[in-house]
Structure 1
Amino acid sequence: METKYKKIVVAIQTAFITSLVCSALPSYASDTELYKAPQTSETTIMFMLDVSGSMNPNNNNYRENRIQSLKNGMIKLLQGDANTDALPDKLVVGLSEFAGSNGRIKLEARALGDKTYIPNAQVFREIQPKIGNAEQAYTKITVKGEYRDRTWGGWSTLSTTQYSYSDGNISTSNLQDNGAKQFEECIEWNSDNTCKDNSWVSTTKRATDFGTVTSNTTSTNYAYSWTATNDGNGTLLQNNSTYPATTSECIEWYGSYCWTTRYYQNLVYTRYNGKKSGTVSLVEYKVYTGTAEDTHRKRMLRAVNLLNADDSTPTGYAFAEVAAYMMGQSTKGLTGSGFSNSNGLTAIQNGNNYIAPSSVTKTKQCNTQGIYFLTDGQPQYYYNKNKSTLQTFMENTLGSKKGSFSCSNSSTLGLLNNYSTNGTMSRPNGWDCIGAYTKALLDPNLNPAGVRIKTAVVGFGSDFNSGTGSDVQDAQKWGTLGEGGWYSGSNDSDVVASVNAFLKKLQKYIPPVTTGSITIPVDNLDTQNIQPWGYFPQFDPAPDAQVTTWVGNLKKYQVVDNIIKDRDNKIVFDAAKGISVDDPNDYWADTSIKKTITKIIQENNVDIEKELEVKVGGALSQFKLGNVNNSERVIYTDRKVSDAGVASSIGSDKALLQVSSADLKANNPANNFSLDTKRGYLAALFGYNVTSAMASNLTTSNNDSANTAFVNFLTQSNATLRQMGAVMHSKPLLITQKGTTQFDAKTGDLSYKDRDDLIVFGTTQGLLHVIRAGDSATDSNAGKEVFTFAPNEMIEKQSKGFLNQENQGRNLEYGVDGPWTAYTEYVTKSGTNATEPVVTVSGGKQWLYGGLRMGGRSYYALDLSDVTATSGKPKIKFRISPDDATAYSPMSYMGQSWSKPTLAWINWQGSRKLVMIVGGGYDPIYENIGTPTSSSIDKGAGVYIFDAETGSVLWWAGANATADKVTETNVSNMKRSVVSQIKAVDRNTDGLVDHLYFGDLGGQLWRVDLDSSKQAGNTVNLAKRITRILNQSNASDVPRFYSTPTFTIHNNGGSLFAVLTIGSGNLSSPMSEANKNDALYVIYDKDVTRRNLSVLKDSELNSVDINSMTTGSKQLVKNTDGNTATSLSLGGWYYPLGSKKRVLNDNIAIDSDLYVSIFNANIDIDDVDCYGGVRGESKANQFCLPYGQCTMLSGNTIVVKNRPNEIALGKGNIGISFGGKDKSRGLVLNFPTTEPLTNYTSKTKFISQRWYER
């Protein structure tokens, strides 16, 4: 027989304070400013390209148009095409060329995405077709008279004939627009800054987008349609020398002889001054001149297109020329120099020296740099054949290190015998100098830049493909010696392949900062116990990386003697650095999954790179890549796709749809995912390393070339992408699906075996993960993914984050970043042993609720009642979507879904109802450091209660509420965002919530008293009263409350009172100079414990608008040292934290001790190395409740004792973590401390509890 296991249900619901004790989630906001990015490993490539005569088809034996192939390859790299990804914006690239006697720097090295500006350039134009009226005056002269074609005979009458005609000026009027206005911007300019022909492109921008501009309007393409003419009255013209009365003309010639003459007489001329009218159509161009924005990528494209081949191949001089530029040296005045070719180009040289690329001179140990040297033949030195000249040239480019250089320095080049003698130096044709110089560039001690400069060599053309001479062999050795590689080729594809191969050799993986706070869960099956396991969410901050999502991992460790340790019993945090060690061995790690990191270490005062192979570890190491033996990641979504390829959400109370890689390739009518335009991004979730170009090119068609390329790409060899989003703010949640009961008769202890524990957490990638926790330290299935939920709105909004970071977009998204919670009802079933029943959610309930934080405004409810570690399908109960709410509806006022849902029971319309209680949310206005105006109302101002079954709004309160009805309460001062979890309190053990507590971002703390009568929600408002118990909104620095208040009950001479504690801190800008004076606030609530509270008038309340600016019973007293008692007759006390110190996390109260993590923003980092850094530091402080003074019993006397010393928690924002083993719990640290730690032991007792948290 199956029965409801109600005792455990109650235990779970009533043990909320226990779970709080164990939580350690930092309440981060948009706190990315806490992380200074590691100096990104910038890569600089200088292209030195051969433009000698043999690059032309007429000047090589193979008739190869090498210069055009080179251009085509470079253009592919810079622009990209269907088969080639463009070089990334962050790659630093410059261009140089060589031919004749020297090498020349043509374009300085800059990031391809860098913008440059052209003043006084045509930037934008508006094109408006117009139509209007037109008039034009004209003059017409006609002639009448008589004629004959001989000198005799009669005269014939001459009909009216036009003698002359001339048009006058055209006037236009009433011009009207004739069609839509077009807008175009210029993308390329002539030398005079006018826009090039065919360089105007359509744009959505407007003139105001181009800053300060001037305009000039011209009209072209005039076309006239004359519909009426009026000659007017003619004027007779006679006896005028211009219009003779008689005349003659030859009308027929015979050679030069006039055969027939026509004679005229009595000619009469008439002038008409007429006018014609009609319509005119024209195009009006309004061209704006301002500052044009160009990119280095466009400049490179233009420079490549201008490459022109001619003359010889001065290899050694060219190599040293480009190196001189990279090192900031000079070749000015030297024989073989190309320095003067860049005269006047201030980005390249200053008149005396080259200006080295900034990427080479800054953070040298982090960056890589190389020379890509492409040549189509052996070195030729027609102009400077003396080896001593080349040596002198190379020496001078090495500046202060010139004394260490000699062409005779040993290398692998110049050791052969069969060198060319065509225009060359004496044996070995300068190769010994090139070899020695290559080695100098690789040794930071031998070149003035103090960096390693690698060299890649490309032999371009069939001469190298078939050549066996010494020059060819040394060219091949040169690439190997330079550590950039040797490549041969003869077409544009070879150029692309060689550059990409060189880039891989230049890549350097610099391990980023790994940080986070551990979460130690309460045992769901026995809430008196804390599990000995901690779940450590990790993420790699990359604030400067311009990616869609940061990446991370989740790892499992054990808590041993209050310290986090791995399965090798090693401490996992570096106490000196305050971050995780490089290679911990966590309990979820698949130790066969490795990655290579490059660390910079110093040996003999020189930075050197050292590669280390380390474990990926955590849940990430357990991810399945691709499809092996029909096994792949299990991914569910609430996204459905129509037959036409249109995507939407499936709605409420439905089974989620499973996405498979097979369904992305071939159409499955049950889901149509093969028609989904986002299928390329979804494929990346299965590990296929899809590029952004491939993913974005897919349409709803299954038959086009883009889809064919995509389907062919989904092979196991391309399943190389192992990536998880950052686990930043979504606290790992333990849910338990079943366990077998064990009872030890000797000790009386109850325990559970054969457990099915799962860990739930969201990531910034936009996914919710469900992972097997593991039944023991040796469980081989621990860390394996059960399933992942990909919400439709995340797929629509930020699917680029599914791709490799290198292929993502530039806007950082936060995904599923909110904390989640669970409601569970277990049932008991008979086990294999009659004395060991099985507790399970099968037949019961397992519901998850959570939001997105800065990922959006939605809340989701999922049903996992049928899910186990090996089977079952999740359902979606509902989605709350304020984005889709109608204007002025309750949900339309909600902000981002920051508040962790509180699940509780209320009496609603006469029945018990499970509800989800959340704060209104976060208003992004707080991303700005300033304070909102007093008259404004924030997004998220208020508190909401939803039906936990359906997601419908039952009740809400706030300044935007329009009336006091049974379903809403207007509170005029509740104008600020409420972002924390709502504290729910049951005062009488009836299982129904009676009071809610929460703070807001305007320095206010609220209490809501709920009505538990049968009339609540029917005829009376659910809220009996809403009281502002703390009001610091008028303080000079208004505090912001992001965290959940703690609630404790205390006894004062037999009279009970409540204490609320909450800390303030600007979590949106934790490092800011503003709001320096934050505090820990401890408020006495002397009303909530009064038996007659429900019938008291507002004027009879004691704890209302307590503040630090008043005196008397509502005064909040400063407790300067944190150890001075404050009388209960006052309103409470506050502890000033000090300048730029803040409380950014929930506090923990246990046994009258209050633990508070205080973040110190004064501890900053001035400089950052390759590893980046975490700003600020956190320390645990302990205070004594309720009065703010620590005491102890000395004999029969109570005496004051010192407050315990603060304890370092680590760098950055680290919350308080409590954990232990069995019923013992205490502060858990990332690394050891010399301070004494208190352990607290809970005892299982059956006592009447009138006050407990929900």
Structure 2
Amino acid sequence: MMIFKKLIFSALIVFLIAIVTYKSKADDTEIYFGKPKPVNVLLVLDVSGSMAWTVDKCNDSYPYTRCYPRGAEQSRLEVMKDALNDFINELPSNVKIGILTYSSFENIDLLHEVKSLNEGSHKADLLNSIKGLEADGGTLAAGAIYEAARYFRGEYGNYDSPIELDSNCGSASNIVFLTDGQPNSLKSKRWRYYRSINSMLDGNGTSCAANDDGKDCTEKLATFMSETEQVSSVSDSIVKTHTIAFADDLTSKDFLKNVAQNGKGLYNEANDRGKLVEAFKNSIKSDIEQSMLVTPSVPLSRSNRLSTTDELFLALFKPEKTQFWPGNLKKYYFKDGNIVDKNDVPAITDKQQFVDGASSAWSIQDGNDVTLGGIAQNMTMPRKVFTNLLEKNLWTLKNRVETDNNKITRSHLGLPTTATDAEFKSHIKWLYDHKINYKNSDGEEVEVNRFGDLLHSQPVAVQYEDKSLLFVGDNDGFLHAINGSDTRGKEEWAFIPRQLLKNTSALHENQPLVSVEERLYGLDGDIAIYHQDKDKDGIVNNGEKVYLYVGMRRGGKHYYGLDISVPNNPQLMFTITGDKSVSDEVTAGLSWDNVHYYEGLAETWSKPFIGHIKWRGGKRLVMIFGGGYDSETQDNAKLEAGAPDSTGNNIFIADAVTGSQLWNARTDAVHQRAGSIADTMTNSFAADIAAGDLRGSGTIEHFYASDVGGQLFRFDVIQEKSSDATTIQAAKIADIQGSGVNGNRRFFTKPDISFIKLQGETIGLVALGSGYRAHPLNEDISDRFYLFYDKKVMTREFEDDVITEATLYNVTEKVSVTDPVTGDSRQRFLSIFEILADDTKNNGWYLTLSSGEKVLSDSSTINYRLFFTTYSPSSDDGDVKQCSAVTGQNKLYAVSVLDGKPAYFRDAQPGGTIELERSIELVTGGIAPPFSVFFPINDSGEASESAGYVGLEKICGGNECDFLDQMTTVKWRELTGKQLDELRTE
């Protein structure tokens, strides 16, 4: 029995490392933040008669009567209305706010309950009510605070308490109490409010006086609300009281200071519109900041990784609560299977963090600080920053991003036409300047060398005759070309597509994030490289071409193709877009720009597969990619199984030099079953395509694609012998969707293809794990790991029926078997022969994962062993709805690709027996990357100790990695002549 398997197809090994409030829309960065406290704000506003006075002029001889402003001066009420309008319009949309007004005994009204500003027409209703406020009557302060307390306690009429009963994070509840004068109207113990207030205070063992117009009652109510849980079933349900003295006298101010102090709130003064707006803001500033995002739990969140020879390049980022997240690219080394710094000292701790005193190759003791060392600290001025404004040669002066380039407009940068010249130039300078000031998670203003976060983009290397360039994309929108051969690390140039210049304004302002999904993204997709390596030396020389392709992931619906054959003179070959407006822009006046509109292309998550294909009698260099991710539909965490996507549900083949569309599956694939192939392609294809050559032709013959609807498709490329026509036939192989939300299993990972020759028949083995990559904290879906037997791939035929979960063997648990000789019963796992012998379940197997556990990274199959990682949001972190960030729990599985039996990890059991375990728990936090194998080679060309890693976590080294013996591979890409000969021999 022989097994063929894809492993590593070049000297480069690239993989991800994961070290470390959301709405219904999801994003995988949610793991870096805790759920924020809900912020409740009840504005308790004085509308007594004195609010009709001007701020500083009126006749004090007639209190509590209407006093009309003189001339053009506004009344206090009008000033308050304008200030409230400004204040509410500047609040984040997730803040919950309501209004209670008060004057005399009969006029205490809850005008609007506390609700989110983005809930229906609530914001507009608030502003309309403010516009209609009128001043009249006395100042019953104690009564107003009492009614506000009743409302927060859920005792006010038919209104529910605004404090969330199911919030694990508690609530940040606030009363903002504004008045322009002394309280009055609470004159006697006989008054109902006095008796009611003392009844409430009695629960706290206190009471208040009745002979001071309610001052004592107001102050003690503030104490009661700030020290006593207002909703018994909710922890942290206290209510703070902030006060604003609006044009008040000294006595009133002393009273309001006492109320604020007792209420654990802030005291503010104001006597005009601007100061009143600031007073409102200051009152709840602290809680509003908490309502954005909870500070990330770890300083280093994730890195992407590239290994060349014995060098290791780590692409890092640090999550922040603002738009700008700092990133970096650092260089380390491999020695004896371990990661070391430039001094040959181990660089990684047992907790998968950098050693504090470690020094990456381009710096001194940068340790665990993302912003120190690396390329970020070594960037210098002047930088070469290009965009694609006027021609395809990006390196020309016409495309330089600098203040002297008058072709850059305010519109390009997302600025209004009214922006001043100084503002305009400041934004341009932000794009190319390497130093910026930003507030970190601790609120500190710090200066850093600006390098955007490298969230999902994986660095790739291209070796030229005189240097090695590393290419990586960041979420500021730049593709960076970095000289990895330089002793200090040097950025050679950076390119930002003009479609991403519009983000400049928001990034420049660097405002706090209200929620994760409000983050802006740039060139966040994986990079693909094609090198026309004629002499097979791995170096770009002798006029050879090298092309780069990059997508955007959540950054947009574009792919960019660049010719980087001349390292410092990049050219933009083409743009592929799913955004019709981008194509229309070119038609309207940018005829030089080679833009191709691909209808239905969604967010470009799928890394293009670059290779040759037999096409209409010739050989064509193509890029094959999935239709992308339909975030409009799939970001809904409560989406039920079977819901179709409107975009992304296609597979495209493009000319890899011109970008022109050659083929798309929905219209051009020849379906091998009844009906249209388009009818079966219901969901978006966010995952990478697995493509390869099984017959030694040197061209792509088959490719597999998985979608977020739990479906798997195979496509076979057939060059007709009798004509120049190329046919690509296709059919759905598997559909494992269940029902409802629980059964909405999604595939975000690349199909992992291997083959086995069993009893004279070659069977394709397709490994795929399900998991909601866009919402890793989700625990509603029951996920699985699947292995599908594709029994007819070699004959280019398809089974009559689609594989469903019902036709797969559930290998999660052992089964009871009886020894035919002794009759004894024992527990064991089934073998592939037993699975194939079951006519009802012989299409493969599946493994049921624990609650919340999901597969978010690609699997790897090595010598019969299938390795994959899983992520669970809970484990020791408790409830995923908690306020702190959820680092989660990762596992590494090692099972037989044939039948899912444990295949590598050993566990000593009582009695001295050794049991194989399917998985081990990893130290790695965040979302673990795939399992990868390193075969480092030093400068002398000598092989170092091989090692297996998940991110920065070493799994095995040397002889421990026994599965690396006698590896046999089928490379799912073009093979060299020598490789083809080896394959035929095997």
Q: 1:1216 aligns with which of 903, 912, 930?
A: 930
Alpha-carbon distance, 1:1212 to partner? 7.8
Q: Residues 940-951 of structure 1: matches in 2 within 5 Å?
A: 943-951=651-659
Corresponding position of 2:117 = 113
Q: 2:294 aligns with which of 511, 519, 535?
A: 511
Aligned partner of 2:176: which letter? I
Deviations 1:1174-1232 (A, max 9, x none): 8x86533212244655789xxxxxxx996433123578864434256835231426779
Q: Secondary structure of the residue that 1:880 maps to in structure 2?
A: strand
Tell me the distance in 2 between the aligned counterparts of 1:975 and 1:472.
69
Q: 2:753 aligns with which of 1019, 1031, 1047?
A: 1047
Corresponding position of 2:588 = none
Q: Residues 297-446 of structure 1: matches in 2 within 5 Å?
A: 297-299=124-126, 301-303=128-130, 305-309=132-136, 318=141, 320-328=142-150, 349-350=156-157, 357-358=162-163, 365-376=170-181, 379=182, 384=187, 396-403=199-206, 442-443=226-227
Tell me whether 1:1006 sits opposite 2:719 in the alignment. Answer: no
Deviations 1:783-811 (A, max 9, x none): x896362442x567998687645588998
Alpha-carbon distance, 1:1155 to partner? 0.8
Corresponding position of 1:848 = 548
Deviations 1:1134-1180 (A, max 9, x none): 23426877645321112331112356799897672323658x86533
Corresponding position of 1:914 = 621
Q: Residues 987-1066 of structure 1: matches in 2 within 5 Å?
A: 987=694, 992-999=699-706, 1001=709, 1003-1009=711-717, 1011=719, 1019-1023=723-727, 1026=729, 1030-1031=733-734, 1041-1050=747-756, 1059-1064=765-770
Tell me whether 1:1147 sits opposite 2:859 in the alignment. Answer: yes
Tell me the distance in 2 between the aligned counterparts of 1:434 and 1:1072.
45
Cα gap change, 1:40/1:1231 in structure 2, threshold over 3 Å: closer, same or farther? farther
Alpha-carbon distance, 1:951 to partner? 0.7
Tell me the distance in 1 between the aligned counterparts of 2:896 and 2:473.
35
Alpha-carbon distance, 1:673 to partner? 0.8
Aligned partner of 1:1152: which letter? Y
Tell me whether 1:823 sits opposite 2:529 in the alignment. Answer: yes
Tell me the distance in 2 between the aligned counterparts of 1:92 and 1:1117.
50
Corresponding position of 1:1124 = 830
**Counterpart contact for 1:638–1:656, Cα < 8 Å:** no
Alpha-carbon distance, 1:294 to partner? 4.8
Alpha-carbon distance, 1:1252 to partner? 7.7
Cα gap change, 1:508/1:326 in structure 2, threshold over 3 Å: closer, same or farther? farther
Corresponding position of 2:460 = 735
Tell me the distance in 2 between the aligned counterparts of 1:20 and 1:1064.
24
Cα gap change, 1:810/1:1087 in structure 2, threshold over 3 Å: closer, same or farther? closer
**Counterpart contact for 1:996–1:1007, Cα < 8 Å:** yes
**Counterpart contact for 2:551–2:607, Cα < 8 Å:** yes
Corresponding position of 2:44 = 47
Deviations 1:169-222 (A, max 9, x none): xxxxxxxxxxxxxxxxxxxxxxxxxxxxxxxxxxxxxxxxxxxxxxxxxxxxxx
Tell me whether 1:760 sits opposite 2:760 in the alignment. Answer: no
Aligned partner of 1:905: which letter? H
Corresponding position of 1:770 = 480
Q: Secondary structure of the residue that 1:59 maps to in structure 2?
A: coil
Tell me the distance in 2 between the aligned counterparts of 1:96 and 1:813.
34
Q: Secondary structure of the residue that 2:473 maps to in structure 1?
A: strand
Tell me the distance in 2 between the aligned counterparts of 1:563 and 1:50.
71
**Counterpart contact for 1:1039–1:1064, Cα < 8 Å:** yes
Q: 1:523 aligns with which of 277, 282, 307?
A: 307
Tell me whether 1:862 sits opposite 2:573 in the alignment. Answer: no
Q: Secondary structure of the residue that 1:914 maps to in structure 2?
A: strand
Cα gap change, 1:1035/1:502 in structure 2, threshold over 3 Å: closer, same or farther? closer
Aligned partner of 2:920: which letter? I
Cα gap change, 1:876/1:1182 in structure 2, threshold over 3 Å: closer, same or farther? same
Q: Residues 533-552 of structure 1: matches in 2 within 5 Å?
A: 534-535=314-315
**Counterpart contact for 1:44–1:92, Cα < 8 Å:** yes
Q: Which moved more, 1:494-503 or 1:719-728?
A: 719-728
Tell me the distance in 2 between the aligned counterparts of 1:46 and 1:1069.
36
Tell me whether 1:1135 sits opposite 2:916 in the alignment. Answer: no
Tell me the distance in 2 between the aligned counterparts of 1:31 and 1:821.
24
Tell me the distance in 2 between the aligned counterparts of 1:1110 and 1:493.
64
Tell me the distance in 2 between the aligned counterparts of 1:361 and 1:68.
45
Q: 1:673 aligns with which of 379, 404, 409?
A: 409
Q: Residues 121-270 of structure 1: matches in 2 within 5 Å?
A: none
**Counterpart contact for 2:473–2:523, Cα < 8 Å:** no
Corresponding position of 1:254 = none
Alpha-carbon distance, 1:941 to partner? 5.5
Cα gap change, 1:621/1:451 in structure 2, threshold over 3 Å: closer, same or farther? farther
**Counterpart contact for 1:374–1:460, Cα < 8 Å:** yes
Alpha-carbon distance, 1:851 to partner? 2.7
Cα gap change, 1:104/1:738 in structure 2, threshold over 3 Å: closer, same or farther? same
Aligned partner of 1:1184: which letter? S
Larger Rg computed on CA atoms: 1
Tell me whether 1:38 sits opposite 2:41 in the alignment. Answer: no
Size of the aligned set, in residue pairs, is 867
Q: Secondary structure of the residue that 1:498 maps to in structure 2?
A: helix
Deviations 1:671-730 (A, max 9, x none): 1414x2x53x3xxxxxxxxxxxxx5xx23xxxx5x64795699799996578999979x6
**Counterpart contact for 2:855–2:871, Cα < 8 Å:** yes
Alpha-carbon distance, 1:495 to partner? 1.4
Tell me the distance in 2 between the aligned counterparts of 1:773 and 1:1208.
37
Tell me the distance in 2 between the aligned counterparts of 1:447 and 1:1045.
51
Cα gap change, 1:488/1:673 in structure 2, threshold over 3 Å: closer, same or farther? same
Alpha-carbon distance, 1:818 to partner? 5.9
Q: Secondary structure of the residue that 2:494 maps to in structure 1?
A: strand
Corresponding position of 1:900 = 607
TM-score (norm 2): 0.67
TM-score (norm 1): 0.55
Cα gap change, 1:87/1:42 in structure 2, threshold over 3 Å: closer, same or farther? same
Aligned partner of 1:350: which letter? G
Cα gap change, 1:87/1:76 in structure 2, threshold over 3 Å: closer, same or farther? farther
Deviations 1:1004-1033 (A, max 9, x none): 44142454x9x89xx42344x646594558
Aligned partner of 1:849: which letter? Y
Q: Secondary structure of the residue that 1:511 maps to in structure 2?
A: coil
Tell me the distance in 1 between the aligned counterparts of 2:110 and 2:697.
82
**Counterpart contact for 1:826–1:844, Cα < 8 Å:** yes
Deviations 1:235-257 (A, max 9, x none): xxxxxxxxxxxxxxxxxxxxxxx
Tell me the distance in 2 between the aligned counterparts of 1:1157 and 1:1104.
30
**Counterpart contact for 1:536–1:556, Cα < 8 Å:** yes
Tell me the distance in 2 between the aligned counterparts of 1:592 and 1:51.
64
Q: Secondary structure of the residue that 2:917 maps to in structure 1?
A: coil
Unpaired segments ≥5 residues, structure 1: 1-12, 116-292, 331-345, 408-423, 543-548, 574-579, 594-613, 641-649, 682-694, 742-753, 829-836, 1193-1199
Q: 1:1168 aligns with which of 871, 881, 888?
A: 881
Aligned partner of 2:527: which letter? T
**Counterpart contact for 2:226–2:238, Cα < 8 Å:** yes
Q: Secondary structure of the residue that 1:75 maps to in structure 2?
A: helix
**Counterpart contact for 1:827–1:840, Cα < 8 Å:** yes
Aligned partner of 1:877: which letter? M
Q: Secondary structure of the residue that 1:493 maps to in structure 2?
A: helix
**Counterpart contact for 2:607–2:625, Cα < 8 Å:** yes
Aligned partner of 2:79: which letter? G
**Counterpart contact for 2:666–2:681, Cα < 8 Å:** yes
Cα gap change, 1:976/1:1109 in structure 2, threshold over 3 Å: closer, same or farther? closer
Tell me the distance in 1 between the aligned counterparts of 2:361 and 2:115.
40
Q: Secondary structure of the residue that 1:402 maps to in structure 2?
A: coil
Alpha-carbon distance, 1:771 to partner? 7.8
Tell me the distance in 2 between the aligned counterparts of 1:1075 and 1:460.
54
Tell me the distance in 1 between the aligned counterparts of 2:899 and 2:186.
92
Q: 1:91 aligns with which of 90, 95, 103?
A: 95
